[in-house]
A and B are shown apart, each in its own frame.
Chain A
Amino acid sequence: MPVDPSLVGRRFPAPAPLTVTSERVGAFAAAVGHPGAAGDVVPPTFPIVLAFDAMQAFLDAEQVELHRIVHGEQRFAYVRPLVVGDELSATLTVTGVRQIGGADIIATASEITDATGAVVCTGKATLVHGGAA
C-alpha cells in the first residue's frame, strides 16, 4: 500500500488547539525525567504532543495505520520558548514522498502557532511507512 506521491504539498491541521497547562507539561516532564520545577518548565520536545495530533490527522485521512509507521527524524526550531498558558495550533504539510527498499519515506513540516497566529516553533519530521509487513 504505497503512499500516494500526489500528497506532497497537502496540509493537515491538528483537529483542535492545545492549551499548554501545568498538568500536561508536568506529566510530560515526569515521564522523561526532565529537571526543573514540575509543571513550569516546558521540555524542548513537548511540541511533539501537537505535532503528533497533526500527524495522526494525516494518517487517518490516508488510512495509514499508526503501527506501520516508524519515526525517522524529528527536529524542532523555536522562534520563542513555549510557556504555560500558550494555546497552540499545528498544521502539518507533506513536503516529500520517496520510496527506499519497499518503504515510503514521508517528509513533513509542521508549523506551530499561538493564539495570535504567530509561529512559535517549526517541526521537521520524516515518517517511515513499512508497507506490507
Chain B
Amino acid sequence: MSGGALAVGDTLTEKVFTVTRADLVAYAHASGDHNPIHQDEQVALSVGLPGVIAHGMYTLALLGRAVAEWTGGAEVVDIGAKFTSPVVVPAEGGAEVVVGGTVKSVADGLVTLALEVTCGGQKVLGMPRAVVREGTVSA
C-alpha cells in the first residue's frame, strides 16, 4: 500500500534495512555526531558496550525512512523513540533493522502510526512513534 489514504488498522509492509559500519561513518559526517562508540570497537568495549553500536538517531532515521516510503513522503509532525537496546553493527556485513507497524489513529488531520523496530528479533526502540499530516502524501 503506497499513496492511498491510510485507514485505522492498516498494516504497514515491513521494511528491512541493513546497517553497515560504512553507513555509520557516512552518518557521523552528515550529522556531526562523531562519538567513537559508533566507529571504534575498542572505545565501545571500554565503556561497557557489546561492540560498535549504531547511533540511536540512525535507527530513528530508518524509522523516518520507512514512514516516508509508506506514506509517499507525508509531512512528519512528530517522530521519536526511546533507544532501549543497542543495534550492534559487526565489522563485516551488517545489522538488519526491521521496521513494521500499523495505523493507530486518524483524527484531526493527523495520522498516528504505531511502530515496532527490531534487530535480531529484539525490540531496539521503545515507544517508537510517528505522526504525519493527512493529505500531504506526495506519491
Contacts and interface: CB of A to CB of B under 8 A. Distances in A.
B42 to A, nearest CB: 11
Given A67-B37, A70-B83, A130-B48, A35 B43 contact: no
Interface in A69-96: 69-78, 81
Interface in A15-32: 24, 27-28, 30-32
Chain B interface size band reads 35 or more
A78 B17 CA distance: 26
A128 to B, nearest CB: 9
Given A48-B57, A67-B47, A130-B48, A76 B78 contact: yes
B83 A71 contact: yes
B81 interface: yes
A5 B130 CA distance: 32
Contacts of B83: 70-74
Contacts of A8: none
A75 B43 contact: no
B29 A31 contact: yes
Interface stretch (B4-12, B66-74, B88-96, B114-122): B66-74
Interface of A: 24, 27-28, 30-36, 41, 43-45, 48-49, 52-53, 56, 66-78, 81, 124, 126, 130, 133
Interface of B: 17, 23, 26-27, 29-37, 43, 46-49, 55-58, 60-62, 64-65, 67-69, 73, 75-83, 126, 129-130
